[in-house]
Structure 1
Amino acid sequence: MRRIGTSASRPPLTVRSNIPRRRSEKSGWYLPAAIATDTLGIVVPVALLFRSTGQPYPLTAALSAGALWVAVRAVRRRYGAHALGESRGFLPVLHDWLTLLGLLAVARVAAGERSEPLMALFSVSAAPLLTVACCKVIHRHLTAQRREAQSVHRVLVIGEAGAADDVVEHLAARTDHAYVVTGAVPVGDAPLTSGVPALARLCSAPPATADEDWLPVLAAAEQLAAELVLVAPGPALGGERLRRLSWALHDAGLPLALAPGLTDVALRRLRMATVAGLSLLHVTPPARQGLHVVLKAALDRSGALLGLLLLSPLFALLAVAVRLDSSGPVLHRQTRIGQHGKSFTMWKFRTMVVDAEERRAELAAANEQDGPLFKMRRDPRVTRVGRFLRRSSLDELPQLANVLMGEMSLVGPRPPLPDEVAQYNEVERRRLVVKPGLTGLWQISGRSDLSWDESVSLDLRYADNWSIGGDIDLLVRTFRAVVDGRGAY
């Protein structure tokens, strides 16, 4: 029996050799920029600080620390082509830096180094900040390139029409990834609706010979200069048929990926296993109880208490500004729906005139949002100080009291109004399985500029995939979103 995909069963195809490398490869300056930033971010501060304070062996200490930092980053594969520019870098860099501190502590003991511990710690504290800054610059450049269809990989999608269309539309909805679908090979006779060209078709029933599958697929891949074949498995394309197709693709030098149909599931919740030769994809349930929930509650309440104490002078100034700007109370209270549908009173600095709720009905026709939300870019009910408070998100600060009382979280979905919840369907009600947040994915992704479906999708993604590390990352990214002010009105 001849093995499918060998030179004896088909003519060789030059799928990879015809691919224009300039489209798929990332910019050449990413790697040297990352290594130079990491190296200089350690070497220069350590050398200068050690020399200025009279510490022994400043150059040796600087070069050793710099080499160790680059080594830690390299072992974690931060310099790989698949990783450069793909992340803003805060949590991975923090993890790497903590590893570096542990290794430096061991090296100090082993070498008998006697510099001041706090001074040594201070000398390497600039490194993670510079690394994060470099990651952000590379990420922004890569994102801009992908908007122009550069630094992307051409993808050929194979699957039954409905599944293939879902994959195509899902990838086309965003530009922050490396895949652009240039064609499809549908399985069966159903038409494609996503608009991508169908260069060939596979029959619904398994073919008499494997050649009837891999020959049209490889011909389509060569015609499109595809760099990846993405398969959406289904009843007509699975098991042995998919296995034989993978042999042909791999022998031709084309990588293969499978789209199992899951969406918005964090990678850390997925685990592969093989049972009796069958590949299984395990999905870990969302965190709803246990240590992570306890830690989140502790982080929420301690953070809220600290925020209330530190920001109390600012609260006083904002209260005076609101009171002088227009008549009415300083704080506005509003009934919102929290976790599991329980109502609570949410506090904000008042940004509208006192009869704003009564005037909402007359403005209903001017609503700029779809779904149950009501938003106007130039709402006449908003006061002068209120516009500033909304753009800067300072009007949300009193919600720290809600967080302290356990009604809200620092990070979570947007707290909805009762009349919004009354219109929720079964899917949208899933937003309520976690506490609403002072900030969240909606805050850093455009706020009021988001459509209703986009807001719901972000909230559901958070509800299913939240983690302590992710919450910390969102809090850091919220600062930039607040300064930017995009979507706040």
Structure 2
Amino acid sequence: MRQGGLVSPFPSARGRLANGEIGQPATEWEQRYRRTVITSDTVATAFVVAGIGIFFGARDAANWHEKWGILAFGTELLVLGALAVSRAWAPSVLGQGAEEFRRLGRSLFTAVVVLALGGIALTSRNIKLWIFVAIPAIGLVTMTARYLLRLRLHRQRQDGRCLRPVLAAGSPDTVSDLITRARKFPHLGWRVEAVCTADGLGPDGDHLDGVPIVGGLADVANHVRRDGYRVVAVTPDPHWSPDRLQRLAWNLEGSDAEMVVAPVLMEVAGPRLHVDAVLGIPLLRVSMPAFTGGRRVVKGIVDRLGAAVLLLLFAPLMVLVGLLVLADSRGGALYRQRRVGKDGREFTIFKFRTMVTGAHDARAQLAERNEGAGLLFKLRRDPRVTRVGAVLRRYSIDELPQLFNVLTGSMSLVGPRPPLPEESAAYGPDIRRRLLVKPGLTGLWQISGRSDLPWEEAVRLDLRYVEDWSLALDTVILWKTLRAVIHGQGAY
């Protein structure tokens, strides 16, 4: 395929897939994936509803058609209708971040409310079973099924399939950053196939990071219509005035392309961004971060209940680990260390001891071998780490005693990494924003590579969590932590 007189090494939306096979337009795999999700939700809902209806309805066979059959059929229609109304099947959210599960949860909550109101109106005695058993079971099954489908989709994207072809338009620096991120995180589904810059050139001539530059910013719409890109990613550039952006949006109407504009506030996203019409002008409203309020109360309750349950579940393992630590080297089973928490208040953190006694005093002798990024001190093969300690660190088992910190309120299940006092003392004003919330047992840092991350990236992730925190984001992080712990990537 020729683009602007150049032979592109990348397939277009209507060309070949990355693995060399003749592919379908991106819209076809998106619709196919959407149909798969709809089928999965429908089958899961029918399975749960039929199982509950048959099991409990068998006890009241005489009134099966009158009560149980009607309730079962009505519940299924209600759940599927709520999913449709809440746009839980929109292609733009399927396989993308926490929004997919947020819409799924909102749909099920809507079904619960409607079902409860209908039960009150009909004075049905059996409505509680469907509210407190059927719909939660539907939620568990559908979320699990969607997660498995997402894993399969992500594996396909790792192989270069099921990716949306992207035309990036902006300054070379910002487009280069977008290309780097798209390649680093292929599971997000973007593949930058072409670039437009202000003058149609980049630092390397007609290519930017190996991606062909196909024209100027004024030519974006023409290239989209000709080559069928699914996403137009507009990154900052002085060329993009409000009038030109509006004209581009108009010119893209009728195409299959989705226009995505990178805001100036790059690290603010999710629930804090709202588009409002003020005096007839569309304005991007940025709400304040939620450091207090009802959601924080819910988070605190979930933290303490979750910590209590996890301590009960892991109690036998923690006793065994403690004995192994004592048998492996001299010293106590637990290690206590001062850390900095919310608002700069210091607290004592608990961990299983993974190093020999006196390891902190020996740190100065190893300072020249430090492999940690920024203010962190890390060594992949730290001579102070014991044999048992190396295993505990790899699978994060050494951090289980921090559940006591969560239980007492000095930490949260999810949050930024708790820094040492000397690290906190070196923070600048921007990095100190990490201290606006409680530190966490896990967080975005934990699920994104841990010690393998550059210091700047670790800080960016922590600040992103502080700015964009939500209960849905916490749920996703907790879910992904399990996979990160099993793989042990970046843990040493």
Global fold match (TM > 0.5):
yes
Label 1:32 to 1:291 Cα distance change in 2 as closer, same or farther (>3 A).
closer
SS of the counterpart of 2:375?
A: coil
Compute the displacement of 1:398 (Å).
2.5
Aligned to 1:78: 88
Deviation track 1:182-202 (CA, whole Å, cap 9, x = no partner) reads: 222211477356423222225
> Which amino acid is 2:139 matched to?
P
Compute the displacement of 1:92 (Å).
4.1
Compute the displacement of 1:163 (Å).
4.1
Q: Give RMSD over aligned pairs.
A: 3.4
Deviation track 1:19-67 (CA, whole Å, cap 9, x = no partner) reads: 9644453345623542343333333322331244336324443333222
**2: CA distance, partners of 1:379 / 1:138:** 40
Comparing 104-113 and 429-438, the one that deviates more: 104-113
| Aligned counterparts, 1:78-477, within 5 A | 78-87=88-97, 90-111=101-122, 113-115=124-126, 117-118=128-129, 121-188=132-199, 191-192=202-203, 194-195=208-209, 196-201=211-216, 213=218, 216-222=219-225, 224-232=227-235, 234-250=237-253, 254-301=257-304, 303-304=306-307, 315-364=318-367, 366-477=369-480
SS of the counterpart of 2:274?
A: strand
Compute the displacement of 1:181 (Å).
1.9
Label 1:265 to 1:30 Cα distance change in 2 as closer, same or farther (>3 A).
farther
Compute the displacement of 1:425 (Å).
4.6
**2: CA distance, partners of 1:160 / 1:477:** 34
SS of the counterpart of 2:360?
A: helix
Aligned to 2:56: 50
**2: CA distance, partners of 1:252 / 1:62:** 42
Compute the displacement of 1:467 (Å).
2.4
Percentage identity across paired residues of the two chains: 38
Compute the displacement of 1:99 (Å).
2.8
TM-score (norm 1): 0.81
Comparing 33-42 and 277-286, the one that deviates more: 33-42
Aligned to 2:5: none
Given that 1:162 and 1:192 are in contact with CA atoms closer than 8 Å, whether structure 2 keeps it comes out as: no
Compute the displacement of 1:354 (Å).
0.9
Given that 1:72 and 1:96 are in contact with CA atoms closer than 8 Å, whether structure 2 keeps it comes out as: yes
Comparing 16-25 and 279-288, the one that deviates more: 16-25
Deviation track 1:88-145 (CA, whole Å, cap 9, x = no partner) reads: 7655444333333333333434455443834874345432221111111111122122
Given that 2:228 and 2:256 are in contact with CA atoms closer than 8 Å, whether structure 1 keeps it comes out as: no
> Which amino acid is 1:126 matched to?
A
**2: CA distance, partners of 1:443 / 1:393:** 10
Compute the displacement of 1:311 (Å).
5.6
Given that 1:34 and 1:79 are in contact with CA atoms closer than 8 Å, whether structure 2 keeps it comes out as: no
**2: CA distance, partners of 1:127 / 1:74:** 15
**Count of residue pairs brought into register by the alignment:** 463
Pick the structure with greater CA Rg: 1
Compute the displacement of 1:352 (Å).
1.6
Corresponding residue to 1:61 among 52, 55, 71? 71
Deviation track 1:232-269 (CA, whole Å, cap 9, x = no partner) reads: 35433313333334333326665433222332323211
Compute the displacement of 1:341 (Å).
3.5
**1: CA distance, partners of 2:409 / 2:14:** 60
Compute the displacement of 1:270 (Å).
0.6
Compute the displacement of 1:411 (Å).
1.7
**1: CA distance, partners of 2:332 / 2:138:** 47
**2: CA distance, partners of 1:389 / 1:171:** 33
Compute the displacement of 1:389 (Å).
3.1
> Which amino acid is 2:423 matched to?
E
Given that 2:221 and 2:248 are in contact with CA atoms closer than 8 Å, whether structure 1 keeps it comes out as: no
SS of the counterpart of 1:130?
A: helix
List structure 1 segments (4+ residues) > 6 angstroms apart after TM superposition: 15-20
Given that 1:403 and 1:410 are in contact with CA atoms closer than 8 Å, whether structure 2 keeps it comes out as: yes
> Which amino acid is 1:200 matched to?
G
**2: CA distance, partners of 1:252 / 1:397:** 52
Deviation track 1:154-181 (CA, whole Å, cap 9, x = no partner) reads: 2222234444444444444422323322
SS of the counterpart of 1:351?
A: coil
Deviation track 1:287-346 (CA, whole Å, cap 9, x = no partner) reads: 234444444445445554565577656554443333233221222111222234443322
SS of the counterpart of 1:77?
A: coil
> Which amino acid is 1:145 matched to?
Q
Aligned to 2:41: 35
SS of the counterpart of 1:128?
A: helix
Comparing 149-158 and 221-230, the one that deviates more: 221-230
TM-score (norm 2): 0.81
Given that 1:38 and 1:66 are in contact with CA atoms closer than 8 Å, whether structure 2 keeps it comes out as: no
For structure 2, the 5+ residue unaligned runs are 1-11, 17-22
Deviation track 1:381-434 (CA, whole Å, cap 9, x = no partner) reads: 333433343344332232233334443222211112234345545543332332
Label 1:247 to 1:319 Cα distance change in 2 as closer, same or farther (>3 A).
closer
Label 1:102 to 1:409 Cα distance change in 2 as closer, same or farther (>3 A).
same
